[in-house]
Amino acid sequence: MAAILGRVVAGILLFVTVGCSASTSRVVTVNGHELHLVCGGQGPTVIFEAGIGGDHSLWPIAERIRDHAYACVYDRPGNGDSPIASDRPATARGDVADLHALLEVAHIPIPAVVVGHSYGGLIAWMEAVEHPADVAGLILVEASHPQDLVRLEAVMTDDQRRTFEQGLANAKVAFTASLKQAAAENGSLPDVPLTVIAATHSMTPWCAKGLPCAQMDAIHLELQADYASLRPDGRLVQAATGHAVQDEDPDLVVREILRLVASLPRP
């Protein structure tokens, strides 16, 4: 508890004293393996979680918020400049443990706003449930939902289901196992701001493979709305884009990040 309080105080001091700073890159040893981390800026901490196979380079919008926040991006094991972690399976549970440890070992001031895209959104949500003291707010951008596979595969034929699962088999993480881990969570979100950004055409690429993408998009939006409902004041924002909202409409994502950061209590 003392360590957590110390890092919370560090976060307050950072917000008060740090001027606009250049980004710094470093390697941090976390849970026995190395993670590449880039941080810079001023203000409350915002840390970004990329989707499956993604790395820090997928968050160029981090540069746009560094006048308003201390923004951190990093590479999970086996992505970008972080080597594969041979000491653990690549699942959401392990990635959440790494994020929690990274915040502590790298002395990143908490609580932090966690911005997660796709699978990274699942990690962000689990981090908030398992380690509420780490999190000041959540922005879930097209976040994977624990019920994704169950709900989506329910509208597919057997052949379509096989096609869908083959498409997921190339992922760098055990995605199905990760969704099961998330579904087993029995905690609740802390009392922090929550914004969910949902794409209206997330499933369009599956149309070319003969899958029922219109039905899948409808289910996807229902599940994103379910995320938003986890907080009484949860905010649901629809983006007229595909899955990579931060690439197709970066202004929207930046605007929502800055909106949430501006809503945080000031010291």
* Residue ranges per structural domain of the chain: 2-263
233 membership: H or E segment, kind and range:
none
DSSP 265: P
Identify the pLDDT of residue 173.
Answer: 67
Identify the pLDDT of residue 14.
Answer: 41
Identify the pLDDT of residue 9.
Answer: 39
Q: Which fold has domain 2-263?
A: Rossmann fold (3.40.50)
Identify the pLDDT of residue 170.
Answer: 66
Identify the pLDDT of residue 156.
Answer: 97
Q: Which amino acid is at 200?
A: T
Average pLDDT of adjacent 10-residue blocks, the chain of 267 residues? 44 40 88 96 97 92 97 93 80 95 98 98 98 98 96 96 84 82 91 98 93 97 98 98 98 99 89
256 membership: H or E segment, kind and range:
helix 250-263
Identify the pLDDT of residue 257.
Answer: 99
pTM of the model: 0.89
Q: Are 85 and 94 contacting, i.e. CB atoms less than 8 angstroms apart?
A: yes
Between strands 70-75 and 33-41, the pairing is antiparallel
